[in-house]
Structure 1
Amino acid sequence: MLKTTRAEFDALTPVGQALARPEVPESLTAANERLRDTAEARWPFEPQRLLEAAREATGLDDFGDDYFREALDQLCASIQNELDLSPVGRRNLHGQILDHLVQRLRFVDLWKRQPEILDEPIEAPIIIVGLPRSGTTFLQQLLAADERLRPIPFWENLAPLPAHDPAIRPPEDAPLIAQAEANVEGLRRTAPGLLALHQLGAEDPEEEIYLLGPAFATTVYEWVYMVPGFASWFAKADHRAGYRFFRQVLQTLQWMRGGRRRFLLKAPQHMEQLVPLLEAFPDAVIVETVRDPLTAASSLANLCCYGQRLRTERPDPLAAGVASEAIVSRLVQSYIRDRDLPFVDARFVTVPFADLMREPVALAERVLTAAGLDLTDETRAEMQRYLDANEGKERAPVDYGPADFGIDIPRLRDRFQGYYARFGLSPDPKFAA
């Protein structure tokens, strides 16, 4: 997927070879052929042209604070210089960036017309921060059984604002839900294994990396497309303004759709943005799920490499391994750096993965108690219903490992020593060097 890297096919493991030369649906092949001659001209990654396209699409021209412009410039340069996109991948990535710019224009316009939105209280959200494959999705969906909590469903992450004027309440959300259902169905046709690797439903809770998109304070581009230049810039940048914008987005969702329930959020990217996160939400309850980070590195590499078939015609497992090592290392090292800073009002709850799998309701109750909530009989029954339904779901077999992506186990073990020590973790024996 990167222009500068090409894994030698014969040197890959059998799993790596299957990922590097995947079987793809004929419809995807045909779409790439149909768009091949026009894709570059139709979907350029030029900041000024993207900004102008967003203005033309909305009739609006105020993007608000221009801090996001550096992120847009860096992202476009990284895409142009580093990515080997297929025509379909180019179209989809261009559309995603444009959509985030359109959303930004519409949010800023709404706030100017309805300034009371920014007075909406966001009180003590529960925010799950943990590595991929450490139980974050499971715990979020378990806690979502409590009707006092308000997760962000996938459809609202993708399209938080209705097609009509969002000042008109209540919004018409049915088309947005249908759009997300079509999105999931499209993935089911073109990359069915992706849904086995990452559970996704239009109305299921989903991590808010898409909602951070209009602020350009999101890792969604880095995690999905692998853009090392942008990733390097992102890791060093100050994202406090982006997280303030994200808080305003949540205020808008609450104002539009009502309820004033406590937000239940979740995203691994928050591990390296703990300071911006807690500046935006100083009274948050932070739920930290902990597990051997090598599980996260392998899982993220597999998910990223599998998804590359939708974005490039030359997936590269080794490049996915390099990117995943870098991402997980950043998350771990940043979290250890910031975890014990004096956040006055925040509360932290540690949830070991093994304990969560063994006693999920007890762990959920621990989280609710830390948030000042009791576990009601109704919520306990809903949680049990979720567990019973989840028990029967088919799960994708884990038939990959670090070696399939060139991940160096001893090197990562050394990088993660501080994390193991901080949370009393023992390295998972299945990742023997």
Structure 2
Amino acid sequence: MAPPRTSLLARAAIVDTLSRGLQKAWDRGWLPPIVLEPDILWARAAKGHNSRDESSGRSEKDAADFRERLDALCASLNREAQLTPLGRAAAHGLLTRAIGQRLALGKLWREKPELLTTEIAPPILVVGQMRSGTTRIHRLLAADPAHSATRFCDSWNPLPETFDLRPLRSMAALFVGRRLNPWLETIHPFGAARPDEELGWLAAAFDHCAYEVQWHIPAFVAFSEARDPAPLYREFARILCADAAHRGNAGRPRIMKVPQFSEDLATLLAQFPDARLVVSRRSDADTLRSAVSLVANQMAMQSDHADLERITQECRRKIALRADRMEKALAGFAGAVAEVDFEALGADWLAETERIYDALGLPLSDQAIAAMRREQDQASKGAHHAHQSQLAQITRH
């Protein structure tokens, strides 16, 4: 059970202990200090890779986009993020892993180019604001055996493995994450092999969505928001092809969701023009409250300078930006769209699910409903139900 969360910026004592230990090790020369510079990170991550792995399966434009995003992200981290020693260590790990995965995927596509021609069934995209109920909708639809979904372990470890140890590695990562952040599960229900969002695929291409919730990097966010996201979603589609071929589920519609989809919906639909959409709706006030809680929790883990007012202003701006971009994209989309209300889904999930299937022109089988009931039962026991009581308690104090 998670300890009381007395503040939105609360963090576990072990976080400070580890940061002090790292700083001491650097000061005394026991460990080399962490340097977040693109060339150094690239050299470290590229060991054992062929120079062709950077561009294999990718256009020159897509390869250049990745490098430019890395440069901009490192500059923003060094100038703006004010990370603790533990935060710098976490950033180093995330960036080198993303570079290494990028090169490993390039090697895979160089050796097996046929993966990139895998025919994918038209996907079902769950679109909506962060904290608007997209996870619940995603997992309900993913429970249907007629569909496929991305596992958490595949999202953050996209390179297919013949002897698949990714669930075990993700279990270990989640164990560490829960020790460092005892409120992690109350904010989002995780499971190493459970269906989860493809956030890791966008993070691996250096989109801003995974990083803006944990670091104060406004320059990089502005850079990325103003940039054409098409290279990101071309890489996303390549990873999807490899994942579907490896898992043998390319013929079943993939249920996919990342809150970033709402911001990039026009580009996403250009990449997947035959997609069906499920749009999640929740009041802006409730969405903002929950989003601020998530971002504050993440930023407090890695910086001593997390500012609640600044986080609130940025979350409010982000909600408005995503709403504007999403509505413009929806206005020009002629495909199937189902709208889902957060409160209605909570009141009667089965009735809302039946309405989704009807709007999308999909059959809802008894087998699917039974699987969804099992998902609902599992979800009802999750720690994330404590999040609302956490927020209420913090507000009272």
Shared fold, TM over 0.5: yes
Q: Measure, in 2, the Cα distance between the counterparts of 1:247 and 1:119.
A: 10
1:125 is displaced (CA, Å) by 0.3
Map of 2:54 onto structure 1: 63
Relative to structure 1, the CA distance from residue 226 to residue 316 in structure 2 (aligned partners, 3 Å threshold; closer, same or farther) is same
Gaps of 5+ in 2: 56-62
1:311 correspondence with 2:302: yes
Map of 1:5 onto structure 2: none
1:73 is displaced (CA, Å) by 1.5
Identity %: 29
Q: Measure, in 2, the Cα distance between the counterparts of 1:210 and 1:72.
A: 16
**Is contact 1:365–1:374 with CA below 8 Å preserved after alignment?**
no
Q: Measure, in 2, the Cα distance between the counterparts of 1:392 and 1:45.
A: 41
1:183 correspondence with 2:177: no
- Number of matched pairs: 377
Q: Measure, in 1, the Cα distance between the counterparts of 2:207 and 2:152.
A: 18
1:104 correspondence with 2:94: no
- Per-residue CA deviation, residues 108-141 of structure 1 (Å, 9 max, x unaligned), is 2211221111111122101101112221111111
1:16 is displaced (CA, Å) by 11
Q: Equivalent of 1:147, from 145, 148, 164?
A: 145
**Is contact 1:19–1:315 with CA below 8 Å preserved after alignment?**
no
- Per-residue CA deviation, residues 155-182 of structure 1 (Å, 9 max, x unaligned), is 11111215xxx5xxxx221x21111111
Map of 1:127 onto structure 2: 125
Moved more, 313-322 or 81-90: 313-322
In structure 1, what residue type is equivalent to 2:375? Answer: Y
1:231 is displaced (CA, Å) by 0.9
1:217 correspondence with 2:207: yes
In structure 1, what residue type is equivalent to 2:362? Answer: L
- Regions of 4+ moved over 6 Å: none
Moved more, 39-48 or 352-361: 39-48
Q: Measure, in 1, the Cα distance between the counterparts of 2:110 and 2:315.
A: 40
Q: Measure, in 1, the Cα distance between the counterparts of 2:269 and 2:375.
A: 30
Relative to structure 1, the CA distance from residue 119 to residue 189 in structure 2 (aligned partners, 3 Å threshold; closer, same or farther) is same
**Is contact 2:337–2:360 with CA below 8 Å preserved after alignment?**
no
1:366 correspondence with 2:355: yes
Q: Measure, in 1, the Cα distance between the counterparts of 2:46 and 2:217.
A: 26
Q: Equivalent of 1:226, from 212, 216, 230?
A: 216
2:47 is paired with a residue whose SS is helix
Q: Equivalent of 1:354, from 325, 343, 346?
A: 343
1:230 is displaced (CA, Å) by 0.8
- Per-residue CA deviation, residues 246-276 of structure 1 (Å, 9 max, x unaligned), is 1010000012221222211011111110111
Map of 1:266 onto structure 2: 257
**Is contact 1:153–1:203 with CA below 8 Å preserved after alignment?**
yes
Q: What is the RMSD of the two structures over their aligned residues, measured on CA atoms?
A: 2.3
Q: Measure, in 2, the Cα distance between the counterparts of 1:226 and 1:23.
A: 17
Q: Equivalent of 2:373, from 362, 384, 396?
A: 384
1:144 is paired with a residue whose SS is helix
Q: Equivalent of 1:32, from 8, 19, 26?
A: 19
In structure 1, what residue type is equivalent to 2:284? Answer: P
- Per-residue CA deviation, residues 82-125 of structure 1 (Å, 9 max, x unaligned), is 01111111111111111111111111221122111111112210
Relative to structure 1, the CA distance from residue 59 to residue 82 in structure 2 (aligned partners, 3 Å threshold; closer, same or farther) is same
Relative to structure 1, the CA distance from residue 60 to residue 258 in structure 2 (aligned partners, 3 Å threshold; closer, same or farther) is farther
Q: Measure, in 1, the Cα distance between the counterparts of 2:296 and 2:236.
A: 29
Relative to structure 1, the CA distance from residue 384 to residue 238 in structure 2 (aligned partners, 3 Å threshold; closer, same or farther) is same
Map of 1:256 onto structure 2: 246
In structure 1, what residue type is equivalent to 2:220? Answer: F
1:370 is displaced (CA, Å) by 4.2
Map of 1:426 onto structure 2: none
1:392 is displaced (CA, Å) by 4.1
In structure 2, what residue type is equivalent to 1:201? Answer: G
Gaps of 5+ in 1: 1-14, 405-433
